[in-house]
Amino acid sequence: MNEYDSNRIYDTVKKIGYLKTNDYLSADCYLLNTCHIRDKSKEKVYDEIGRVRKNYKNKKKPIVIIAGCVAQAESGEMIKREPYIDIVIGPQSYHKINNIIENFTFRKKEELTEFDTEDKFNYLDKIQNNDSSVSSFLTVQEGCDKFCSFCVVPYTRGPEYSRPFKKIIDEAEHLVRNGTREITLLGQNVNAYNYKDEQKSYKLSDLIFELDKIKELCRIRYTTSHPRDMSEDLIECYSSSKKLMPFIHLPIQSGSNKILKLMNRNHKVEKYLDIYKSIKQINNKVEFSSDFIVGFPGEMDCDFSDTMNLVKEIKFINSYSFIFSPRPGTPASKFKPIDKEIAKERLLNIQSELEGHQIKKNKSLFGSSIEVLVENKLKNQDKYFGRNIFLNSVIFEGDEKVVGKLVNVKVEKINRNTLFGKIDQNKNMRAA
Ligand code: SAM
Ligand code: SF4
C-alpha cells in the first residue's frame, strides 16, 4: 500500500512542480514513506534520516518529510528525536501535502495526523493516477476495525473505509488505458470492502466481476484478506472469474486456537481449513500463502507444533513469517514475552518448512510451459522480467515486443524465488 501511496503522493506534488530526481543530493524536498508494522521498520527511518543529514552537511537543506504510519504513530516525537525532520504527515492527510509544502518555512515544523480518509480520497480522485506499470496496485479499502492484539494498523491507518465503487472502476479503466494489464486490489482487509450507494451494497466480488469486463486487463489479484471476511460470493469468484489469479494470500498467523484467541483473530483454525477446502473444491489450481507470527506471548511448544502441522497440511507456496514484535499501545505489548532464543529457533524451523514447500512447487514447474505477464526488461541485461499466475518472478530471454504481453515461457532452471527460462516457441504469444 505504501507503494501505491507513494505514487499518489507523487501525482499530487507534481501539480506544484516537484519532480523525482535521481540526483538526490540536490533535492529541494526529501520525502520518506514509512511502515510501522514492526519495530525494525521504524528504526530504519531514523537510520535513513541520519544518512540524509550527513550527506547534506555542506549543502542547502531540503524540506524533510516523513509520511506513512511511523509519522502517524510517532508524530511530534519524531521531530524531537531527529530535528532534521521538518514535516510529519500521516497516511490519511496526503491531500494536504501541497498546501503544507507551498507554505512551509524552516522556522515552523508541521505535524498532520488527522484521520480524514474520505477527504483524502475525494481529493485524490480529482488527480489522475498516472501509474503506467504493466502491473499496478489500486487501493480500494483502508484501515481496520478488527484490533488484533498485536497490530498497530487500526491506530495508524484508522477505521475501515471503503472507496466508492464507481471511482475504483474509473481508476482501473484509466490505468488500463495507460498500459496496465494486471491490477492488484489493495486494502489492509481488502475483503472487508463494502460500499453502499442508494441502489446497492458492493463487495469485493462485485469489484472483481466488474474488472473482469475490462477487455485489455489480463489479471486481477487482491491483498491482504482476512479469513473472517472470506465470504461465499468471494470464494465463488475462483470459479466464475476469468481473470482472478489462482493464488490467495490469506494470513492465519498461528495454527493454534489458543494463540488465535490471544491474538483476538476471532476465528478458529477450523474456519481457515473450511475456506481452504471450499476454494480447492471449486478450483483445485488455487495455491495459498500466509503470514505467520511466531513467539507470540503464551506460545508453547504444543502451539508451535499446531502451526507446523497446519503448514504441512496446507503446503503454502509463498509465505511471510516474523517473530512477534511488541508494538507500543497494542494489548499484546503488555503480555508476558516468551524466551527470545526459543522464538528465533521457531522462526528458523517454520521458515525452513515453508521454504521446502516453495522449492517443491517451483520444481514441479521445471520443464513446463508457464504463462507469464511480462513487466519489464532487466537493467543492463538482455533478459525480461515477469510473473507467473502464482506471482513467482520469472526471468527469461525475449525481446522488447513482449513487454505488457502474456507469453509462454519454458522453465529451464529454478531457485527458491525465481524461475528462469526461454520463450516457448511452440506456443503463441497472446496480445494482452
Ligand atoms: N490485515 C492482514 C491480516 O489480518 O491478516 C495483515 C496485515 S499486517 C499489515 C501484515 C502482517 O504483519 C500481519 O499479517 C502479521 O503477520 C505481521 N505483523 C503485524 N503486526 C505484527 C507484530 N506486532 N509483530 C510481528 N508481526 C506483525
Ligand atoms: Fe492488523 Fe490485519 Fe488484524 Fe487489522 S486484521 S488489526 S490489519 S492484523
Q: What is the 3-state secondary structure (H, E, C) of 158-185?
A: CCCEECCHHHHHHHHHHHHHHCCCEEEE
Q: Are residues 159 and 237 part of one domain?
A: yes
CA atoms within 13 A on the CB side of 332: 25
Do 205 and 263 lie in one domain? The reply is yes
Return the C-alpha cell found at 212. Answer: 473482469
CA distances from 48 to 13, 32, 36, 37, 385 (A): 22, 9, 15, 17, 29
Quick check: CB of 150 below 6 Å from ligand 1? yes
Beta strands (DSSP E) in 273-344 are 287-289, 291-294, 320-323
Contact 89, 66 (CB under 8 A): yes
Which of 347, 364, 381 is at the close of a domain? 364
Pick from 54, 69, 226: nearest CA to 152 = 69
- Say whether both 308 and 398 belong to one domain: no
Predicted model pTM: 0.95
Q: Ligand 1: does its nearest atom lie under 6 Å from the Cβ of 189?
A: yes
Radius of gyration of the CA atoms of the chain, in A: 23
Distance from Cα 340 to the centre of ligand 2, integer Å: 24
| Buried/exposed 13-25: b ≥16 CB within 10 Å, e otherwise | beeeebeeeeeee
pLDDT at 39: 87
DSSP conformation letters of 32-56: EEE--SSHHHHHHHHHHHHHHHHHT
Tell me which of 364, 381, 401 is where a domain ends. 364
Q: How far apart are the first and last CA of the chain?
A: 25
In this structure, the answer to whether residues 260 and 282 fall within a common structural domain is yes
Q: Mark the ranges of the chain whose per-residue pLDDT is less than 50.
A: 431-432
Is residue 80 located within the same domain as residue 226?
no
Domain CATH for 375: 2.40.50
- Residue where a domain stops, chosen among 364, 381, 408: 364
Does ligand 2 come within 6 angstroms of the Cβ of 147?
A: yes
Q: Give domain status of residue 269, yes or no.
A: yes
C-beta 324 within 6 A of ligand 1: yes
Instruction: Mention every residue, 6+ apart, whose C-beta is less than 8 A from residue 149.
Output: 262, 263, 264, 330, 331, 332, 335
- pLDDT tens across 140-152, in order? 999 999 999 999 9
Domain that holds residue 50: 2-114
Q: DSSP secondary-structure letter at 381?
A: S
Q: Assess whether 352 and 416 both reside in one domain.
A: no
Domains of the chain: total: 3
Q: Are residues 291 and 413 in the same domain?
A: no
Ligand 1 pocket, residue 293 CB under 6 Å: yes
Mutate to test the pocket of ligand 1, among 4, 36, 37 (most ligand atoms within 8 A of CB): 37
| Within a domain: 191 | yes
Check residue 429 and give its pLDDT.
Answer: 54
Same domain, 193 and 206: yes
Q: Domain containing 82 — which CATH number?
A: 3.40.50.12160
Are residues 329 and 414 located together in one domain of the fold?
no
Asked if 207 and 309 sit in the same domain, the reply is yes
- Let me know whether 166 and 77 are in one domain: no
Domain presence at residue 428: no
Write out the three cell numbers for 36.
510501522
Asked if 282 and 330 sit in the same domain, the reply is yes
pLDDT digits (tens, 9 = 90+) for 374-411: 999 999 899 999 999 999 999 999 888 999 999 999 99
Please check whether residue 432 lies inside any domain of the structure: no
Q: Which residues 6+ apart lie within 8 Å of 300 measured at CB? A: none
